[in-house]
Amino acid sequence: MSLPKILLPTWGKLTTLPMMGTQHMHLLGYHARLAINAFEMGAGGSTLFMLQVNPDLRLTSVEHDPTWRDAVHRLHEAMFASGCSIGGHLRLGGYDESLADHGSPYDLAFIDGKADERPAWMALMWPKVRPGGFLILHDSERQEYRDAIQKLVDAGATVIYNDGDETYQTDKRVKLWIGRKP
């Protein structure tokens, strides 16, 4: 598979990158660039990354840890105020299912938050992804996600990408799963 090439934006010496390997980062960046409305479960480096690769993106992001959520919010505000090429359309909140309706239908749903919550958020978000849109699951190699992935496939998801084993930081093997809604 030939990977789409994107320019990774920088802010001074800081490059805001998601905690994933280069191949997965390029795939997330590619899909974020194509999106108008996106949803993210698990705020962090990926939040700021998606808003940098697509400054026009309207992003709703949920994060369970209030301290982490506040840190992401403060960094986003500082980057935006400094004139960094980062989008200003961010709605950030806790794990509140009502936030999932804020921008739906979504072009992209990125699931990468609290591990035991991911299958429920996958099921919640799939109906909110527009036809032709994408759901991306990070760390999809985990056994506990197989049933949730199979339910998406049974609901018509076309598996776009599921062989993205790569090592990131440690020897942990991670996978990225991308499904396209018919």
- Give per-residue burial for 25-38: e unless 16+ CB within 10 Å, then b: bbbbbebbeebebb
Token code pair at residue 182: 């018919």
pLDDT tens digits for range 17-64: 787 877 888 899 999 999 999 999 999 999 999 998 899 999 999 999
pLDDT at 2 over 70: no
Higher pLDDT, 87 or 136: 136
- Torsion sign (Cα): 104, 107, 109, 110: negative
Percentage with pLDDT > 90 across the chain: 53
Q: Binning pLDDT at 50, 70 and 90, where does residue 6 land?
A: very low
Euclidean distance between CA atoms 87 and 93, whole angstroms: 17
Euclidean distance between CA atoms 40 and 29, whole angstroms: 13
pLDDT at 16: 67
Q: Does CATH number 3.40.50.150 belong to domain 22-180? A: yes
pLDDT at 164 over 80: no
- Torsion sign (Cα): 122, 104, 46, 159: positive
| Of 64, 67, 71, the residue nearest 41 (C-alpha) | 64
pLDDT at 76 over 80: yes
Mean residue pLDDT across the chain: 84
The one-letter code for the residue type at 69 is R
Q: Is the pTM of this model over 0.75?
A: yes
Pairing of strands 106-111, 90-93: unpaired
pLDDT tens digits for range 107-130: 999 999 899 999 999 999 999 999
Percentage with pLDDT > 70 across the chain: 85
